[in-house]
Amino acid sequence: MRQRVVRVAVTAVLVALILLAIPLALAIRSSLYAHQRDTLERSALAAAVRVSPDYTTGDPVELPSPGGAGHLGLYDPAPRLRAGSGPRTGDAAVRRSLGGVIARTRSGGELVVAVPVSHDEKVIGVVRTASAVSAVRTQVFLGWAALLGAAVLALAVGVLVARHQARALARPLEDLSRHCRAVTAGDLNARAAPSAIAEIRQVALTHNDMLHSLSELLRHERNFTSNASHQLRTPLTGLQLILEAGLSQEDDGRLRPVLREALAATTRLHHTVEEVLRLAGSPLPPNRPASDRPVAALLEETDELWHGLFAQDGRRLECGVQDTPADVRVPGGPVAEILGVVLDNARAHGRGSVRVSVRDLAGALAFDVADEGVLDIEPGRLFDRGHSVGDSGGTGIGLALARDLAASLGGRLLLTNTDPTTFTLLVPVRQEERHDEHDAAGRGDGAPDPDA
């Protein structure tokens, strides 16, 4: 591309120089010849005013120095040379000038100018001046040489400017090409630098946006397997333990509740798979699922699911069911998954009792999960995928997945305190949902719904 830009620029400069140099060269030639004729004419006129009418009777004639003229002479009407230098007999220019006009001709390799000398309205002589054409031709060649030097200088400047512009145009394109090769080699973090050229800058921005979209798509695809394996592990383990407990029972009457619990665990597993699939395929920004479960019922199910697990470790789980708003629904599946991740994290890395409480923020609900442990970790790295809390050998997926699930609801998962460790899940609740729940609560006395 650089050579192409230079060739185009040099061609344009050459065309411009040709179109300008040829007329300028002709103008130089014409002006130099005209200047020399004017010089000869001035010399002849200066000499003519010094010619006395008595020169025909023998009065001596004093002619000025020829100056720029090679020859300066006075001719009588004969026409013969009476003073100065020149041919002994007047030429065609002298004979024409005897008619009372100024004659300008080129004769015998000379530029000739003849000026009549008048007295009493009669031509009494002619002053003839002449100079060699070769002298003017030398000046013309010198002028053309100067013109050629200026053209070469202009061409050199044009080439330098063209090369500079070629580099300025090619560098961002070469950078974009280099980044494309890096992406082809597998480096999805490569980004094209912005350019000062608007068109190339737009191409670079479009390239970066496309690469960002592709990176996000690939990230969702890569994370799906790890998300699914992580989130399915705990429910499957629980299901395995329940089934083993059921198989160890000998009384069929005692086996039925165990099987019902296994069925409930299987249902939770089904919901977990649905949430992981939804998160893996959610667009950006993700659509928030519809609110489908009361907060109180959600916390009761969470307490029922996790109370026994904490009790096995000699720890206590408290869910603040009595403080939760009874008229607000939340996306049950995603919120349950997030609370499950945070509770599993508290069980594995926390200490002491764990308390789950809900705060109404008039536009959002805040689910607080606090234990009695102290978290000694940089908060900025806590939610990084692959970074595990402590030295327990965890996968570092749970909190990152919970953060993505919260973002898919339009909310956020935050570490609000490190001593004691407290995680807060913010779930936005639309105002119309609150009005609908209040209206439903107002019809809770058995009155029929007018829209039913």
- Best-predicted range by mean pLDDT (25-34, 162-171, 251-260): 25-34
pLDDT at 444 over 60: no
Q: Rounded distance, CA 220 to CA 257, Å? A: 39
Q: Rounded distance, CA 408 to CA 428, Å? A: 11
pLDDT at 228 over 80: no
Cα 374 → chain centroid: 46
pLDDT of the residue at 285: 42
Query: What percent of the chain stands above pLDDT 70?
Result: 74
Contacts of 220 (CB under 8 A, 6+ apart): 280, 281, 282
* Model confidence band, residue 50 (pLDDT cutoffs 50, 70, 90): confident
pLDDT of the residue at 255: 62
Name the architecture of domain 289-442.
2-Layer Sandwich (3.30)
> Rounded to 5 degrees, what are φ and ψ at 25?
-65, -45
- Best-predicted range by mean pLDDT (134-148, 179-193, 359-373): 134-148
Is the omega angle on the peptide bond into residue 420 within 30 degrees of 0, that is, cis?
Answer: yes
pLDDT at 144 over 90: yes
| CA geometry: angle 358, 360, 365, nearest 5 deg | 70
pLDDT of the residue at 204: 79
Q: Tell me how far CA of residue 346 lies from CA of 112, 156, 241, 323, 399, in angstroms.
A: 116, 75, 21, 22, 11
Domain 2-149 annotated CATH 3.30.450.20: yes
pLDDT of the residue at 233: 62
Q: Rounded distance, CA 86 to CA 249, Å? A: 148
Mean pLDDT, the chain, rounded, equals 78
Q: Where are the domains of the chain?
A: 2-149, 289-442
Look up tokens 């002589």; give the residue: 125
Least confident of 239-243, 257-261, 391-395, 401-405: 391-395
In the predicted model, what is the mean pLDDT of residues 41-52? 88
pLDDT of the residue at 103: 93
* Model confidence pLDDT, tens digit, residues 400-443: 888 888 888 888 898 988 888 999 999 987 644 554 554 544 54
Q: Rounded distance, CA 54 to CA 45, Å? A: 18
Higher pLDDT, 257 or 174: 174
Residue 143 CB neighbour total at 10 angstroms: 17
pLDDT at 100 over 80: yes
* Model confidence band, residue 390 (pLDDT cutoffs 50, 70, 90): low
pTM higher than 0.75: no
